[in-house]
Structure 1
């Protein structure tokens, strides 16, 4: 069950070819790359995975291909949608394909706790007994969920088995959720992994983030689990400049896809429009950052 998950769950990119079509072969190589570097699970169809740019048929193809290559690791599918009927349809499709669960964020426009609770009561009435990751990401949705509201949702809906905590500042909210009592759910965190060592210290169950070097996410998690906190921080520090560069919204996603291309994980760094294209200056900045990461990791041994 999802409430027991822990470790590094990768927000997977969607590979496109040089003409902007879904590159199925690169999905296979990307999944293998993520697994090689310690992924414990995957999220497909998320915001940074460009899920909103896929047709229904493409979303099915991408989900099916990731599940086929995941070697039994859980695959969670992002199904957030302004329309509850569409959300229910996407959820049924994902579960039919073998997903471990779905991720849902509240839609833009909710302003009160009453509206929030009513929305999710409607959603869970439609999708039934499906394991859900509740995504708390007001930077994207514009909807701020208080700790008491999240705890009410957890108690009212046993389908919620994970909270993806991306509200900033994240640390106190994580601690308050952990101290809230009631039914325990897993807490995973995103925001590109920028605060991962501190969030691990607050009791999260692992990262749910995208990064061009997923071995950092899994490595920091495993070191922290072994009690090697200083070593976890040292490893994190090797990657921080590049991690920070990739945290620039969709510009950062474009940079991440380029680094993944350079590392042989995908054939093309294409982002589907609307989306940024890296300039020669961006490429030069990446050259420097990647060299510095490689040097720092080599020096650490």
Structure 2
């Protein structure tokens, strides 16, 4: 069982800021990244789905990593999303991310093609061999159509550069078994499971909600680490209304996070409507007030 946290505990799945005309906004990127670190994020995950990676070019992905590295300095972890449905392209993005200054790679299961487990395993191993960077596997079958089965995870854990998992499988039993039998650091990718997964040996979280409430999301883990599990549960409960609206109310987390931050999305995503924005702002204000 792992006690390692290779990328820290509190990681934000960071949005990618755009201008009103749809261009990459590197100035806003630097400001947002620095703010997240100042508010308690140990690391930032760039170019993930929350970062609208399906709509950013390879060159934009590299520019984001370089801009954030310059903004936050060498301390905080930068984990670069490089996952695609194409193993060769994923390996190319991994090498690009390493050159741009990333500390680790987030590699999602190849999506849509639904490869069998042997092909999933081969994909991850080839990407892990492409660079010297540590790898966080991303298990999100609801989006990709394919699970990284626990048995596959156990085999992948033997590779020295496969060190972590972003867990969106909604299988606490399966995750707990892998945590108990390997050194993989499990990061919750689903806000409602941040505390439960942490309690069974998880390493922390990769949170979209942390874009708008980084201090409040981290406070749950801080309380748990102090041994105050009751306070951790109380603080966790306070985050749930906002997390539910942002992540489970029918809109992508990117859209809801940007609605609160006043940023722009790229098509095919569309901005949230006024009623949704008002509801999000009310939930956010409630969370902020309850933590003061």
The two structures have a TM-score, normalised by structure 1, of: 0.88
Is 1:281 equivalent to 2:275 in the alignment?
yes
Q: Residue 117 in 1 paired to residue 103 in 2? A: no
**Residues 187-218 of structure 1, C-alpha deviations (whole Å, 9 max, x = no match):** 11112x22212111111011111112011221
Distance 1:28 1:4, change over 3 A: closer
From 29, 50, 53, the counterpart of 1:51: 53
Matched with 2:205 is: 207
Structure 1: distance between partners of 2:92 and 2:148 = 25
Corresponding residue number in structure 1 for 2:10: 8
Q: Which runs of 5+ in 2 are unaligned?
A: none
Change over 3 Å in CA distance of 1:297–1:122 after alignment to 2: closer
SS at match of 2:157: helix
Conserved? CA contact 1:48–1:250, under 8 Å: no
- The alpha carbon displacement at 1:118 in A equals 2.9
How many residue pairs get aligned? The number is 284
Deviations 1:200-249 (A, max 9, x none): 11110111111120112211111111111111121222221111111046
> Residue in 2 aligned with 1:189?
188
Confirm whether residue 82 of structure 1 aligns to residue 85 of structure 2: yes
- RMSD, aligned CA: 1.8
Q: Normalised by the size of structure 2, how large is the TM-score?
A: 0.91
The verdict on how the C-alpha distance between 1:253 and 1:208 changes in structure 2, with shifts beyond 3 A counting, is same
- CA 1:83/1:166 → structure 2, altered by over 3 Å: closer, same or farther? same
- Within 5 A, what are the aligned runs for 1:152-301? 152-155=155-158, 157-169=159-171, 171-181=172-182, 184-191=183-190, 193-211=191-209, 212-248=212-248, 250-261=251-262, 269-298=263-292
Gaps of 5+ in 1: 262-268
- Deviation string for 1:68-112 (max 9, x for gaps)? 112321101000012222112111111011111111122122343
CA distance in 2, matches of 1:290, 1:122: 42
Cα gap change, 1:177 to 1:34, in 2 (>3 Å)? same
Is the contact made by 2:114 and 2:144 (CA closer than 8 Å) also made in structure 1?
no
